[in-house]
Structure formats: structure tokens, C-alpha cells
Structure 1
Amino acid sequence: MVTIDSSSGVGGLLTSFRKLAKDSNKIMFIGTAGFCTPFAELMAYVIRDTNIEIGFIPETRPEEAREIIKTPFGMQIGDNIDFHADTIVLLGGLSMPKMGIDINDMKTTIEKVFENTENRTTIGVCFQSAFENQCWIGPIEFDHIIDSHLSIKTLKA
């Protein structure tokens, strides 16, 4: 993998994502329900004013795909949506061992989402090199990975 961009913070993550997503027609985020959902909604926010359709698939269950919609409260999960898309965003929570996601099941899910799609893009978004550490790079054919590292400081006033 070659570094094509470098930035920091949440703003950097969102800007990187917006640049990679700009040519997509339909994006399906795939992540763990609960943990990954708010990250998908946050990233969807930066493309809210485009014509890109956006959805979320929980784990390896494409038949449960839901639309991510713009509301007065930000981006939120909406009604059922067709799970087929030209862009997949895999979220790093999927690769965490405690989630128990089988990588072969994920590969099957990716193929279902890309059925009858010619131009395919797979983007990984993770923290602290999760995809690399869990050996998902290679078995999953990523086009791009946004790997973010957070530094946390808790202060007492």
C-alpha cells in the first residue's frame, strides 16, 4: 500500500473519505450494528448534499440493509434499501475478534453487494490499523484504507 494522503483528527478522516467517495453512485457501509453505525452516519454527513445514495448493512446481513438519510438531527438510519452498490465502505469494528465475523462470510457479502456492478470500489475505514492487525488486507481486496490513530487525553478541571 502507498500513502496518498495524510491528515489528522476527525476532520481529516472525513475529508479523506469525501475525496474517495466523490465518484460513487451508491455507497453501502458495512459494519457492526451499534458500534459502527454512528461512524457510518458521521461519514455520510460529509456527502449529505450529493446525489450519492447511502446505506448501512449490519455485519454480513445484506438483506437487512437500511438507508442512511438526512434529517434535522443529522444523518440517521432509515427504511429498508436495496443492498446493491458500486462502493463498499468496510468499517474496522468488523475485524475485531470479539465481533466473531468470519472473513469468508464477509467476502461473500461483498460479492452480493457488488452483483452486476462493473465499477467497484472497496474502502476500509479503521482505527489503529485494525484491518492490518487482524490480517484482513489481502483476503479482502481493498482499493483504499483510511487508517486513523487517535490520541486521547482526559483532564480534570
Structure 2
Amino acid sequence: MDKKTGIVGLTGSFREAVADLPEGSKVVFTGSAAVCTPFIELLSYSIRDQGFEMVFIPNADKGEARKIKKQENIGMSVVDEAADPRNPDVVVVMGGLAMPKFGCPAEDVTAMIKEISDEDPLIIGVCFMGIFKRSGWDEKIHFNTIIDTTMETCVEEF
């Protein structure tokens, strides 16, 4: 287990997890709509220079797949342009899907991965505060890697 801190710890760990993928690989993210989207855009920004095709599947619903593209003077964004999620080299499962209020059953995610994959893609879980372990998803989904980040908030009022 390797421990890192801060945003750079999260993005750097993700970048390392996909470092062996060749240029042109397809990276498919799946997460809760709205809740996971900004984190997916942040993670995709960390690999923007790798020449990957990137796709977002909201709520594990492959019919809603959208492209992730670089937007000048903005960064990486999920755009309202349909994408083909089939044959991913890696599927990134975001922890928001494991949250009762925002997610779906783990079985929906594994079914979606099987539907879009001819071969076994690399499966990377990205979550906060141990949600995959707390929800039992670490035993239901065959992750190759789980990147689990802990957040701490301090509010100072003046």
C-alpha cells in the first residue's frame, strides 16, 4: 500500500495506475451523474497528454455514454456528444456509485462492464472515505487497483 496526500496524491496515483497503457487506449469512467463528474474531469485532466480516448458513462448506463474532451481555457470536460464505450482498455469505477443515495447496485456495474467489454479490461476503483470497502463493493467487483482518498475539511470563520 502506497500513501500519498492531497489532490496531487490522488491525480498522481491515478496517472501511475494507467501509466502502462499505450497511446490510443480507451479509458471509460463510470460514476454517479453530477456527483462524480467533476472528479472524472480532474482525473482525465491528469492523463490528458497520454493520447487516450476518454468516455464517461453516467450511472453505469452505457446508452448515456459521452465523450470527455479538452476544452480550451477550461480543462477536460464531459461534453454532450455521444461516445462508443465498447472495448475499453480500462474501466474506472467511481465511488459515488456505491453510495446509497447517488448510486446503483454493484451488479449493475459488473453487468455494464461485461456488456461493453470483449476482453477483461483493467478495472480501477476511485473512491473517497473507504466507500468501496464499507459497501462491500471491493468483494463484488474484481478491481485491479483501488485508489481511496480521505478528505479532511477545516472551516475557519473570521
TM-score (norm 2): 0.92
Find out whether 1:104 has 2:107 as its counterpart: yes
Aligned to 1:59: 59
CA deviation digits over 1:16-37, x for unaligned, max 9? 0001112331111100110001
AA aligned to 2:33 is A
3-state DSSP class of the match of 2:49? Answer: coil
Corresponding residue of 1:134: 135
How many positions carry a matched residue from both structures? Answer: 152
Q: TM-score, normalised by structure 1?
A: 0.92
| Contact kept in structure 1, 2:32 and 2:103, CA below 8 Å | no
Matches of 1:54 and 1:23, distance apart in 2: 16
Cα pair 2:59 2:103 within 8 Å, conserved: no
Q: Which residue of 1 aligns with 2:119?
A: 117
SS at match of 1:146: strand
Q: Structure 1 residue runs of 4+, over 2 Å off?
A: none
Corresponding letter in the other structure for 1:151: E
Structure 2, unaligned runs of 5 or more: none
SS in 2 for 1:99: coil
Which of residues 14, 19, 23 is equivalent to 2:16?
Answer: 19
Name the Cα RMSD after superposition.
1.1
Structure 2 Cα separation of the partners of residues 47 and 127 of structure 1: 20
SS at match of 2:138: coil
The whole-number CA distance in structure 1 between the counterparts of 2:9 and 2:138 is 22
Partner of residue 80, structure 1: 82
